Structure 1
Amino acid sequence: MTDTGQQRMGWGYFLLQLITIGAVYFLCSIPAAVIWGYVDASGEAAISSTGAAASVASSMAGALLVAWLWLRRDGAVAEAWNLRRPEDGWARTLLAAVVATIAIIGWFTLGAMLVDAIGLAMPDVVEVLGWVTQSQFHFILWIVLVALFAAGLGEELIYRGFLMDRLNRLQGLAGKAWPIILIQGVLFGLPHAYQGLGGVIITGVVGIGLGWLRYNRKGNLWALVLAHMAVDVIMMSLSYADKLGFMPAT
């Protein structure tokens, strides 16, 4: 990922792109929330597991469409969403993905300990994992729509693809690797505020690591996509196995 010959862009144009993507992401979540929404026993609005998965997937699909339109307008699709065959081959790419997967899962454990030690709120994913483990059907639904599509593929295309490409074209940021990596990491962590401050910090660090990996992989996204997919599939699978009683008691 370099800035050689890239078209520069202003901050206003950049913010317009982010706002439109965010707006479409939000709007695309509404139909699923309406179709599968309900009022619970306490009178609060709620959404079913199916609706939550469909909402996440439809939101990401809308965001990806708008991001693609902006990239296409600027002639930057191929560079931002580099999913071509890796220059150094698939073996090295898979190795990088495996190492990244292990590092991320290890960081989740260490990060949770550090967050707890400094007295911050621990990441709260109880509700999400409750949806994931509701039934075999819902487990598969969440794996396909969320772990593989919305998170594994979608978030990498949006954050490490679209966002890093845009930041690398901004006046004052172009070609500055670490500021770009840090900014996209922060922006990646903020939407995870539903997990509490601890979740924002832990996820933000993951985003920084994945941002560095994109530079290390010369802009190719495959190692990042595969690692992200693997982490989410593993975490959801462990949670489902625990519900089924396959995990040893602690």
Structure 2
Amino acid sequence: MKTKIYNFLSKRYIVILTMLIAPLFGFIDRNFVFFFGLGIAFLILWGSNFEWTKFGMGKKITRNTILKSLLITVLFFIGFSIIDSFLQHYLGEFDLSSVEDIRGNFVGYFVLMLIMWVFAAFGEEFLFRGYYMKSLAELLGNSNKNWFLSAIITSVYFGVSHIYQGTVGMVSVFLWSLLISLIFNKNRNNLFLLVLIHGFNDTIGLTLIYLNKGNLISEWIQQLF
């Protein structure tokens, strides 16, 4: 049974079917879209006897990886503080209603932080970059051009999956995803780098919301218009 499941799910076209079917679960709950795809990816991982390299996890977390991820996170934070301010000026505010209840709520903040590191930082990178992007690039031909095309496709897909944050959220997440996908393109065997960048980035964002300071930077930048 295990071998049959693996042989079927590891067929290259399955990634396309998964990406097409997953959004249908959004009619039930948006979280099901994510967990359906993640379930398929984990079945493939299980069937391969946990061959993590199939998902770009060929390197362990090292001090150099941590330092590199922190540097990139800082650059992303500065860059997207500016980018998001421009986007909000023209596309409206982010819809942060899904995390509003953590403002001043330490327990809620702590619990959401744990959930974020497991399902957003690790889970989303494992699914969107480790499975979707890598498998799609291999399906298209595995050339550098096809990896770039896969980065664009999966970034659009990732951005649309954040529609609950509003139009500005989809555009911002698309741009963020495209940049981190290009980093994966240059580090195809080091998905943990992306996991750390994603986790550190969201840690900053959630902490600012918890402290009710999330709009300070964007408000200051918007004053420059």
Smaller-chain TM-score range?
0.7 to 0.9
* 2:93 match: secondary structure: coil
- The count of corresponding residues between Structure 1 and Structure 2 is 205
User: Contact between 2:155 and 2:178, CA under 8 Å: does it hold in 1?
Assistant: yes
Partner of 2:139: 170
| 1:164 aligned partner, one-letter code | M
Partner of 2:82: 110
What are the ranges of 5 or more consecutive residues in structure 2 without an aligned counterpart? 1-9, 214-219, 221-225
Structure with the larger helix share: 2
* 1:169 match: secondary structure: helix
Residue 97 of structure 1, CA deviation: 0.6
Partner of 1:51: none
* 2:159 match: secondary structure: helix
| Distance in structure 2 (CA, Å) of the matches to 1:8 and 1:59 | 21
170, 174, 179: which one aligns with 1:200: 170
Aligned-residue identity in percent: 20
1:228 and 2:198 aligned = yes
User: Contact between 1:26 and 1:59, CA under 8 Å: does it hold in 2?
Assistant: no
Residue 23 of structure 1, CA deviation: 5.3
The structure with higher relative contact order (CA 8 Å, sep 6+) is 2
| 2:41 aligned partner, one-letter code | A
1:64 and 2:38 aligned = yes
Equivalent positions of 1:1-250 (< 5 A) are 9-10=12-13, 13-22=14-23, 29=29, 60=34, 63-71=37-45, 77-86=51-60, 90-117=62-89, 119-125=90-96, 127-133=97-103, 135-145=105-115, 147-171=116-140, 173-175=141-143, 176-242=146-212
TM-score by length of 2: 0.76
TM-score by length of 1: 0.69
CA 1:75–1:26: 2 relative to 1, 3 Å: farther
CA 1:163–1:76: 2 relative to 1, 3 Å: farther
What are the ranges of 5 or more consecutive residues in structure 1 without an aligned counterpart? 1-6, 30-54, 244-249
